[in-house]
Chain A
């Protein structure tokens, strides 16, 4: 097997040229073009469509393509509009996802569900595209950022706000905005912001955190901006002349609230953050964090059968589902082997038992048979003995009888003799 060694740092004696690599990356990314999906959520009338138009300096929603707010909705819909915008040679496919009807009903329970479903379905599409055998160019339609519009009540978050953010903060980058900020004075706005942030922290809601950039200058800027969260915005499609300058703003009898004036609202901050500095980061966080969470949850459900988070499950997570199946197969083979040996053992044991029993009963029968045989033999012997005895007695007696007979015969013979001799009386 090849051995890889890390040799550490090396100093270059002369220009090699790979410092050009970033340019190559730049070139290729421009050629490919960019995509971004932005979702806006909030009750009707909070100026969502106007803000989008202001952000992208275009009439996304115009007479020909009216915004969703101009249509009456009974239930929460999720609608997307796709536009292609070009600037400085850079092409951006922008998808705006709107949620008309959100929070507008009397009973708003589960009004976040269509939103969650939409986000999940986009993740699912990406997951399927990523998991195909034949993969082609995968368009990224996942929701990269969700702007949540908070009504400028001046008091605090509504229960719906809290509920929505709690349910979505681990699925998408949530950026809360105070809508129609021109109804709040700077002091009211400050208090409102403080209150909102306090409540966000209390409920452990994780809103999108603009990460620090390496550059010292910028990081100071970012810290200042973080203190301004949540951003209070004002949107406008109307251009008004103020002091000779043409600005986007809202004309009131008492003056003009300028959209791009940093002292009037945080719109510029939002635009810079969202588009000019952190658009790529929003995409990266979506890809590396939110999507990965979705994916591992989905795959874990398939492999671990939605099991409890035990150490075994944790082990399974570090493997691909296929490796997991391989592991399970190996485990099963081992289990089978063990079962087989056990069954084999039991089998052998039972056979042995049975055979032993058979042997025992054979032995028993043999023994009995032997016994009976011996018994018989003994009886035989006895009989023979008796017979022999009898024979002996018989022959003895017969012999005796013969003697007696002989004696009688002799006696009668002698009498005959005596008779003859005249010993007759």
Chain B
């Protein structure tokens, strides 16, 4: 195996990074331990981007929560309940904290849960997510592409707002989450949780979790494979779904101004971990796992979409003999098939025309033949008529001739008779006497 390292051009790509390499000790400080820093510097220079999708019924405090999370006032008007369908409105903001620039896109579902018939509610959401995947896929497939500067609009995290009923998930929630769990990282949160008491909350959380499990809904799990954050992540996983309260108003508690909601019976402090899980959400979503959310979106959800799309288009990785295709072969094969298909269509059309021409020609020939026959018949008739006429003519001529002869003979006789004056009479008498 070690000797094999020196082979010319490895035939098989190693499965893991670092496989097939032998470990060697270093006799001093080389300096490549700065690689992570180099990488980080480049990413900081390039800037980051993060896209959050907020799904939940109107009035659950989605916009307020976003404002609270990012310590800024984002969008404009709160929406009414009379939307005819579910629309997705997306806004992009450029934020900066110390030297880190973040392009944050917040997508809100407008009108979710407001319709009488909510069967199609999830469709516009799924469509939106797919559209972003498709845009990325198209860019990735281009011949001349600029992935490095591409503005990634794929949704990295989906905050699903659950109404604080205290009982269980609504069927709309289950249906929607089931449709989304293979497309996006879902983080379910209980909205406006200051309406639930602590004991009710515990029961509510358990009920929700068990309903999600029994319906096979895969929500996002904070990763526990990295030792640095494994512990905190696994603890937090147990607190899901987070019960949050959002507020941009500040109330004076002690001698500090804190974000809170003031009631006659007390003040709910947003950042007090005894009051709600806001801090946990912020910690998990932003401070600890933002990068992992982006990575999961790219390596899991996007890959799944891409795989399905390519398979749909007829791409395979291996041919029937299980030999791997190279990209070029695949494209060439597709192209040949495509060209062949077009040519076939062209041929078919030509053939069809040739056929029609033949048929029409035969038709016309038939007509021509009929016409000729007709005229042959007429001609024959005409011949017959002519013959008849000829006959008649002949008979008339015969008659004329006969008459002429008769006339001539008679006239001759008369002239003879007149010549012989009375002798004619005598002759006649004589002849009579005879």
Q: Chain A interface (Cβ within 8 Å of chain B)?
A: 2-22, 24-36, 55-60, 65, 77-95, 118, 121, 124-125, 127-129, 131-137, 139, 141, 213-214, 271-272, 275-281, 284, 288, 292, 295-296, 298-303, 316-325, 328-329, 332, 336, 339-340, 343, 347, 351, 354-355, 358, 361-362, 365, 369, 372-373, 376, 379-380, 383, 386-387, 390, 393-394, 397, 401, 404, 411-412, 415
Contacts and interface: CB of A to CB of B under 8 A. Distances in A.
Contacts of B17: 32-33, 35, 93, 137, 139
Contacts of A365: 371, 375, 378
Contacts of B143: 295-296, 299-300, 303, 316-321, 324
B37 to A, nearest CB: 8
A17 B282 contact: yes
Contacts of B226: 27-28, 31
Contacts of A2: 87-90, 107, 128
Interface of B: 5-10, 13-18, 20-45, 48, 50, 69-74, 87-100, 102, 105, 107, 128, 138, 140-145, 148, 153, 225-226, 228-229, 282-283, 286-292, 295, 303, 306-307, 310-311, 313, 315-317, 324, 326-328, 330-332, 334-335, 338, 342, 345-346, 349, 353, 356-357, 360, 364, 367-368, 371, 375, 378-379, 382, 385-386, 389, 392-393, 396, 399-400, 403, 407, 410, 414, 425, 428
Contacts of B25: 58
B311 A133 contact: yes
A125 B36 contact: no
B242 to A, nearest CB: 15
A56 B69 contact: no
Nearest 5 CB-CB pairings of A with B: A320-B141, A88-B33, A24-B291, A280-B38, A2-B88
Contacts, number: 363
Contact of B72 (A13, A18, A33, A82): A13
Contacts of A15: 71, 97
Contacts of B98: 19
B100 A135 contact: no
Nearest to B315: A133
A390 B26 contact: no
A323 B141 contact: yes
B386 to A, nearest CB: 6
A296 B146 CA distance: 11
B396 A302 contact: no
Given A133-B317, A329-B338, A5 B90 contact: yes
A80 B10 contact: yes
A372 B21 contact: no
A82 B345 contact: no
Contacts of A214: 45
Nearest to A33: B17
A125 B153 CA distance: 29
A299 B88 CA distance: 36
Contacts of B100: 18-19, 21-22
Given A58-B24, A276-B34, A325-B338, 12 more contacts: A9-B95, A10-B73, A22-B40, A27-B229, A31-B225, A276-B31, A279-B32, A292-B145, A299-B143, A336-B346, A336-B349, A347-B357
B287 A20 contact: yes
Given A9-B94, A78-B8, A93-B17, A376 B303 contact: no
Given A18-B100, A128-B326, A303-B143, A26 B40 contact: yes
Contacts of A299: 143, 327, 331
B425 A411 contact: yes
Q: Which residue among A22, A275, A300 has the maximum number of chain B CB atoms within 10 Å of its CB?
A: A22
B30 A56 contact: yes
A83 B22 contact: yes
Given A57-B27, A84-B23, A18 B91 contact: no
A280 B382 CA distance: 106
Q: Which residue among A79, A85, A133, A373 has the maximum number of chain B CB atoms within 10 Å of its CB?
A: A133
B382 A372 contact: yes
Contacts of A59: 24
6 contacts: A87-B33, A302-B328, A319-B143, A320-B141, A339-B349, A404-B414
